[in-house]
Amino acid sequence: MLKVITDTTCNLAPELIEAHHIPTAPIAIQFGEESYDEFVNIDRDLFYRRIEETGTIPTTSQPSPAWFADQYRQAAETKSPVLVITVTSKHSGTHDSATLARSLVPEADVEVFDSAAVSLGTGWMVLEAVKMAAQGATRSAVLQRLAKFRRDSFLFLTPSTLKYLQMSGRVGKLQGAIASMLNVKPIIILKDGMLEARETVRTRGKALERLVTLAEQAVGKAPIRMGVVHARALEEGRKLLDMVTSRLNCEATMLEDLVPSLAVHGGPGVVGLAFHKV
């Protein structure tokens, strides 16, 4: 049977990863000289605590090729073909690590698929792949389905504060201070695998409304699978989920706390929508 592998940025709930037996490569999170592997020796609580203690934003790096190579060897022993589904290659070297590892295990039958997405945008693809694999689908059939998912996927995000973007250097201090005083909230979209700040709105409430409006404009009444992500903003996440389910044709939904390796870029309070047409 096809073996599906992904990385921790897919943002799937631990129980789903365990139920489907999905090997998940940990993203490295580094505070200075201290290095952690996501969900191996650092969880969300420790991640946010370390940020407050150090007053700095950590850096992240892709899993090592050795991690992937180990998984490929295990698959080769059972003669199982492998499909690796990674976070967008435009923002991470994970795809490169997974690809490089193929040369370390030439006996393994491996394909690496760039989701061109982040968080549950990737997560939906992983779930579809493992479900198809369990039903006996070939890797070729799965890749055809994922290619369509990728074309029909959308992601819209907004942070609650510019503090973390300032700390990470993604907005200048003066620019961030002025924006904070004006209570300006950027709207960030995923376009061709890249996260881009496309517009700003004046309040948090209007930012959430804008996310839903953008989703409506993207898919109309087409059936979708909707993922709501938040970074330590559960109540707003629930509110956003209620808004989208009342206004869009959601066949399935997920609500997840953003993984640390993604929350690092916007900090607590980030909320967003990751969805695709069915």
Residue whose C-alpha is closest to residue 71's, from 89, 60, 83, 86? 83
pLDDT tens profile 175-213: 444 445 456 788 989 989 988 878 889 889 999 999 999
Whole-number pLDDT of residue 177: 44
CA angle 9, 14, 19 (to 5 degrees): 120
* Phi, psi for residue 159 in degrees, rounded to 5: -85, 160
Average pLDDT, the chain: 92
Whole-number pLDDT of residue 266: 80
Whole-number pLDDT of residue 196: 83
What's the whole-model pTM score?
0.92
Say how many Å lie between the first and final Cα of the chain, rounded. 25
How do beta strands 271-277 and 224-230 pair? antiparallel
Whole-number pLDDT of residue 171: 46
Alpha-carbon Rg for the chain in angstroms: 19
Which residues in the chain show pLDDT less than 50? 170-179, 181
- Say whether 178 sits in a helix, a strand or coil: helix
